[in-house]
Amino acid sequence: MNANEIHTLATELDQATQEAREIDRLTLRLPELTVDDAYRVQEEGLRLRLARGEKIIGYKMGLTSRAKMKQMNVEAPIYGVLTQSMRLENGAQLSFKGRIHPKGEPEIGFIVAREIAGAMSAREALDHCSGVFVGIEVIDSRYRNFQFQLPDVIADNCSASAFVMSEKNVPPAELGWESLGNLGMLLEIDGVGVGFGSSSAILGHPAESLAMLSRMLHERSQKIPAGSIVLAGSSTEAILLSQGTRIQASAQALGSCRIKL
């Protein structure tokens, strides 16, 4: 695909996001859209947001658990970019206006202290982090009925919309490798448990997701800079959110975080 075509697709998705309007998935009319071109569309969409003054604050991995792959019918991990406008304070209200069909999911996240680059083991990548936290990610696919194929969701910045982090974050050495690899995770809506999982569902250990992100970025000549926030991907199915609800995620030693809609 030439740069013009990439730009047209990125603009289409960018406008749909800004207007909270769902569109047909790209692969309906472009069945040959490749994963590589899809990441180019994602990068062009990011360029449009940066031009409006947004700042990159990290990355999100997606479809890193069986539960999510099965729910979305897409069988490969993907990544997207987080910008500062997506970040909510713990306990904040997320405006329902501006979203199409938001879903919530519990996440394990990392605060990267030293640049992570290229092929690193999961343990080595984790050694580059200063903290681990529990978060809630709000995803909001720009595609009709939240349905897409692999290239569509990549082009759409992996459905990224908003996220919140727990106030506390725990140094990886304090938490311990084994414990991080088997944290009980809970998502509650209005005080009722709706999602139950284990951090082991995320590629066997959430730090594997961090290492995979580093490898995927390396293929596109990129790195995870120091200071980045990285979401490892949900261990459970995402839950459709409605206006006026309270959402909380918790993960044992990591504590909890919450938002309102």
Which residues in this chain contact ligand OOG in the complex, by CB under 6 A?
60, 62-63, 68, 72, 105, 137, 139, 141, 153, 158-159, 233-234, 238
- Kindly tell me which of 26 and 63 has the beta carbon lying closer to ligand OOG: 63
Alpha helix ranges (H) inside 52-93: 66-72
Interface positions, 218-257, toward Mg ion (CB under 5 A): 234
* C-beta of residue 151 within 8 angstroms of C-beta of residue 27: yes
Report residue 135: phi and psi, to 5°.
-135, 175
Distance of closest approach, residue 186 Cβ to ligand OOG, in angstroms: 16
Please name the helix (run of DSSP H) or strand (run of DSSP E) that holds residue 39, with its range, or none.
helix 35-51
Q: Which of 14, 37, 44, 137 binds Mg ion (CB under 5 A)?
A: 137
* C-beta of residue 1 within 8 angstroms of C-beta of residue 40: yes
Distance of closest approach, residue 3 Cβ to ligand OOG, in angstroms: 26
Distance of closest approach, residue 136 Cβ to ligand OOG, in angstroms: 11
Distance of closest approach, residue 202 Cβ to ligand OOG, in angstroms: 9
Sheet containing 184-189: which strands, arranged edge to edge?
Answer: 192-198, 184-189, 246-250, 256-260
Q: Which amino acid is at 205?
A: H
149 binds Mg ion (CB under 5 A): no
- Kindly tell me which of 128 and 142 has the beta carbon lying closer to ligand OOG: 142
Q: Which residues bind Mg ion (CB under 5 A)?
A: 137, 234
